[in-house]
Amino acid sequence: MPQGFFITFEGLDGSGKTTQLRRLATSLTEAGHTVIALRNPGGTVLGDRIRGILLDSNSEADLGPISPLAELALMFADRAQSIAEIVRPAIAAGSIVLCDRYTDSSEAYQGAGRELGSDRVRAVHAAICDNLQPDLTILLLPDLAASLRRARRRNTRAVQQSGADENRFEREGDQFYQRIHSAYEAIAAREPQRVVAIRDDASVDQIAAIVHSVVSARLESVRS
Ligand code: TYD
């Protein structure tokens, strides 16, 4: 059985990571690998409920303001469940696991965006996730303003088309996103072996080709 491999995708809202994750899932499947894809928050029954609470712009009308620490705890409750139900079993079965966001998102959004601090987030990760780290993280960091424009446009379209409103984070101001961007840069500098940052505003196809070659090289080095 091949060795399991855990890859996460990270970046700002509108960075294109979800598209790139799908492209990679397709190319790896075509190459004969078993691929399991999921996202945080979500992917389990519990996680999808937590996602509804955390992302829906209208949640706070029902629940009152969600405190930053409660938000952090809910992100990790979701993550603990997806690790137990999906990630660990898939890795043990020798699959390639692709996860759309993981703990780097909590460090960037709650640690920096909500100003709870990296150390606190990393301590929660150690306690709740048994410190399970991805083998590789693809971090997409295109221009900040362009990412935000894309994310806000996409959310307006989603509300118009389906009524789905996952805007609670995208309503935040530019400084919130500037802090997140800087936190991602700091994570990439701290862990250059795990985190491959792609700062280009290149086309979707060009970035897909870069991601594919980075992942193929890593897989070759662990599986040959
Ligand atoms: P996602 O569906 O990943 O959005 P996008 O496709 O726009 O990137 O949405 C998840 C939102 O939740 C996103 O705004 C980031 C936020 N988030 C956190 O704040 N902390 C976390 O730990 C995670 C996983 C996500």
Q: What domains, with CATH codes, occur in the chain?
A: 5-223 (3.40.50.300)
Please, what is the angle between helix 68-82 and helix 45-55, to 10°? 160
Give the model's pLDDT for residue 60. Answer: 86
pLDDT in tens, 148-188: 888 788 877 777 777 777 778 878 888 999 999 999 999 99
Ligand 1 center to 131 CA (angstroms): 20
* Beta carbons within 8 Å of 194's beta carbon, 6+ residues apart: 133, 134, 135, 136, 137
Ligand 1 center to 210 CA (angstroms): 23
DSSP annotation string for 94-161 = TPEEEEES-HHHIIIIIIIIS---HHHHHHHHHHHSTT---SEEEEE---HHHHHHHHHHHHHHHHHH
Ligand 1 center to 13 CA (angstroms): 7
- CA 201-10-54 angle, to 5 degrees, is 120
Q: For residues 150 and 144, what is the distance between their CA atoms, to the nearest angstrom?
A: 10
Bridge partners, 11 (sequence order): 140
Instruction: Answer yes or no: is the C-beta of 110 below 6 A from any ligand 1 atom.
Output: yes
Give the model's pLDDT for residue 136. Answer: 98
Give the model's pLDDT for residue 201. Answer: 82
Q: What is the pTM of this model?
A: 0.94
Give the model's pLDDT for residue 62. Answer: 87
Cis peptide leading into residue 192 (ω within 30°):
no
Residue 132 has phi, psi (to 5 degrees) of -65, 115
Give the model's pLDDT for residue 116. Answer: 98
Which residue lies with its CA nearest to atom 20 of ligand 1? Answer: 106
Nearest CA among 203, 158, 194 for reference residue 23:
203
Which residue lies with its CA nearest to atom 5 of ligand 1? Answer: 13
Instruction: Count CB atoms within 10 A of the CB of residue 195.
Output: 19
pLDDT 10s digit of each residue in the chain, 224 long? 889 999 999 999 888 999 999 999 999 999 999 999 999 999 999 999 999 999 988 888 888 999 999 999 999 999 999 999 999 999 999 999 999 999 999 999 999 999 999 999 999 999 999 999 999 999 999 888 888 888 788 877 777 777 777 778 878 888 999 999 999 999 999 999 999 999 988 899 999 999 999 999 999 998 77
Nearest CA among 219, 206, 201, 10 for reference residue 95:
219
Instruction: Answer yes or no: is the C-beta of 106 below 6 A from any ligand 1 atom.
Output: yes
